[in-house]
Amino acid sequence: MSEIGLTYIVDDDPLYNFGTKKIMEITSFTKQALFFLNGEEAWEDFQQRIENNDQMPDVILTDINMPLMNGWQLLDKIGSVSYDHPIKIFVISSSINQEEMDKAKKYDYVSDYIVKPLTLDKVKTLKVKILEGQY
């Protein structure tokens, strides 16, 4: 991957989203970032992109605990459909619960589990690893 074209940020915390947006801008992480307040919104957009053969996300950063559809449910939905675009998916959570970390690793299409907060250094490192194919 030579650049990150589209990134989904799925989190119900407006303050977290504001900070993440600023970090994405400062690091030039992605050409376009779309923010969703729950998994259901992200899933609807994802499905529509498949149906319309639109640009798919290159990266998805999803929280776990959200209303309507949580991160686990979103991961299950994404894993239930087929698409022809490589997507790097990361679970981003404030939880340091080992069971949740282990659960994320059981999804073979989840690249990593990252503990919040997302910092400038974490995002810079994440970008480099994605672009260098380490994920």
Q: Please name the residues in contact with 45: beta carbons below 8 A apart, sequence gap of 6 or more.
A: 8, 34, 36
Q: What is the mean pLDDT of residues 1-27?
A: 95
Relative orientation angle of helices 39-52 and 71-79, to the nearest 10 degrees: 20
Write out the two tokens for 111: 């690249």
Q: Please name the residues in contact with 75: beta carbons below 8 A apart, sequence gap of 6 or more.
A: 62, 89, 91, 107, 109, 110
Strands, DSSP E only, in the chain? 6-10, 32-36, 59-62, 88-93, 110-115
Domains of the chain in start order, with CATH, are 6-131 (3.40.50.2300)
Q: Is the pLDDT at 5 greater than 90, yes or no?
A: yes
Q: Is the pLDDT at 107 greater than 80, yes or no?
A: yes
pTM of the model: 0.96
**pLDDT tens-digit map of 46-101:** 999 999 999 999 999 999 999 999 999 999 999 999 999 999 999 999 999 999 99
How is residue 118 annotated by DSSP?
A: P
